Amino acid sequence: MKNLLVIAFLLFAFVGYNQVLAQEEAETEDAEEISDEELMKFAVMEDSVAAFYEQKNEELIDMIRNNETIEGAARYNEIKAAWGDDEKLEEIEVTEEEKEAYEEIMNFMGSLADEVRDLKIDLIKNDEILGVATYNKVNKAIKENPELKEKVDNLQAELKEKRSSEDEVDPDESE
């Protein structure tokens, strides 16, 4: 009989504890409401990073296409496929100048990731643009809520479309 009483007491305590946790979670969710302004700031930050990446990626593509030493994307791809294998590099007759040019391109690629990461960190840390607290709040919310993620994705798509249409405007026409 004592065991039954102890089990019943533990069961009631467990149920009561779960109800308190559920109530606290509901209060936390209410306190963590994400405003449209916060979502927009997050989307603007992400779009800024994406635009920067696109710009740097275009520079990389131009660097490969217009490289006087490597002479085009086809030769670049050929070197890339053989890179790291001295026999293959010798077989396709890669010159020292081409190796240096390829390494320069590889260094640019490596620095690209660092530059994008640094820009994103700077934008997140800037309270006028986003702020760490807002970033963490929105980032957590969009991971937990697919609807919020979709909303941010739609905002980013709108921003990208707006940016693309602004890029298409001829500067001579706007004067």
- pLDDT confidence of residue 164: 84
Helix orientation angle between 146-168 and 36-65, rounded to the nearest 10 degrees = 50
* Biggest CA-to-CA distance, the chain: 92
Give yes or no for residue 18 having a pLDDT over 90: no
Q: What pLDDT, on the 0 to 100 scale, is given for residue 9?
A: 54
Q: pLDDT category, 19, cuts 50, 70, 90?
A: low
Per domain, the residue ranges of the chain are 35-168
pLDDT digits 0-9 by tens, 119-170: 999 999 999 999 999 999 999 999 999 999 999 999 999 999 998 887 765 5
Query: Distances in Å between the alpha carbon of 35 and those of 21, 29, 139, 162, 172?
Result: 25, 13, 13, 22, 39
Per-residue confidence at 95, pLDDT binned at 50, 70, 90?
Answer: very high
